[in-house]
Each structure stands twice: as C-alpha cells, then as structure tokens.
Amino acid sequence: MAVIRWILGRIILLVDFLYNPKGPNRDSQEQVNIDKQLANYTLYQYAACPFCVKVRWSMKRQGLNIETRDAKRNQQFADELVSGGGQLKVPCLKISEANGNTTWMYESSNIIDYLEQQFLLVPEAS
Ligand SMILES: N[C@@H](CCC(=O)N[C@@H](CS)C(=O)NCC(=O)O)C(=O)O
C-alpha cells in the first residue's frame, strides 16, 4: 500500500511539473499591491496532494503569490495546522485578518472560490 501511495505521489508530482499553468500578464505595480494583501495568507499543503495541486494551479493561473507551508515535510507546520485549524488535513488556507482574527479554511473548492471572490478575478473554466 505504501508503495502504491509512493508511486501515485510521484505521478502527481510529474503531472504538476508538466502541466503547471502560466501566470497572468499583470502590471508589476498591480502585482506588488496584490502581493501586499497576500502577506496575510498562508496555504498549508502537501506537495503531492491532488487537492493541493488544484489550489496551487488556481493560485498560479491568477498570479496569487501566497506562501505555502508543507505540512508533510515539516512537523512544525503540521503542528501549526492542527493547533490552529483543528485537523491535519490539507489544503488549508490560513487567513490572518487585520482585526487580529484568524480563519482556517479547509476544502480545496472553498479556498479556490474564496480567493476568486476576494481578488475579483475571473473564475476558471471547469
Ligand atoms: N475534500 C478535501 C479533501 C482533502 C484531502 O483528502 N486531503 C488529504 C491529502 S490529499 C489529507 O489531508 N489527508 C489527511 C492526511 O494526510 O493526514 C478537499 O477538497 O480539500
């Protein structure tokens, strides 16, 4: 079972590498402004998780440079995720609001929808 999981993981990494989408052609000042807003976001994820690939591709397509933290390879990040979000499940978007509140958003589709709405970007064709 571990071998099958390992092989599937390699396949996901290869597909991620081969089909990684391009980012948008955005004015550099506009990108700087978006990056400033994105400093309040962190994506907890695994490199070879298909749901995480889906979220990373959406971020890439839309030019959203959000910090990613690999909770599989880094125990500290896994601990942060469990203590903050309540579950060791990825992807999870940590949103640190200006008023000090923190939201931990699970579910890849919810994360993608939220980011599209938040940054008023054109939803991806499915
Ligand atoms: N429906 C969820 C599925 C997420 C999911 O199953 N993630 C797996 C990794 S691919 C996970 O975190 N499993 C728990 C673990 O690995 O400990 C989504 O779309 O985000």
81-118 pLDDT per residue, tens: 999 999 999 999 999 998 999 999 999 999 999 999 99
pTM, two decimals, is 0.92
Q: Fold for domain 27-118?
A: Glutaredoxin (3.40.30)
Assess contact for 85 and 64: CB atoms under 8 A: no
- Residue ranges of domains in the chain: 27-118
Q: Is the CB of 51 under 6 A from ligand 1?
A: yes
Give the least confident one: 33-37, 46-50, 68-72.
33-37
| pLDDT for position 119 | 85
Pocket test of ligand 1: the residue of 54, 87, 89 to mutate, having most ligand atoms within 8 Å of its CB, is: 89
Report the mean per-residue pLDDT for the chain. Answer: 94
Our answer on whether the CB atom of 54 is closer than 6 Å to any ligand 1 atom is no
Helix 50-61 and helix 108-118, axial crossing angle in degrees, nearest 10: 10
- Distance, in Å, from the CA atom of 56 to the CA atom of 112, rounded to the nearest integer, reads 9
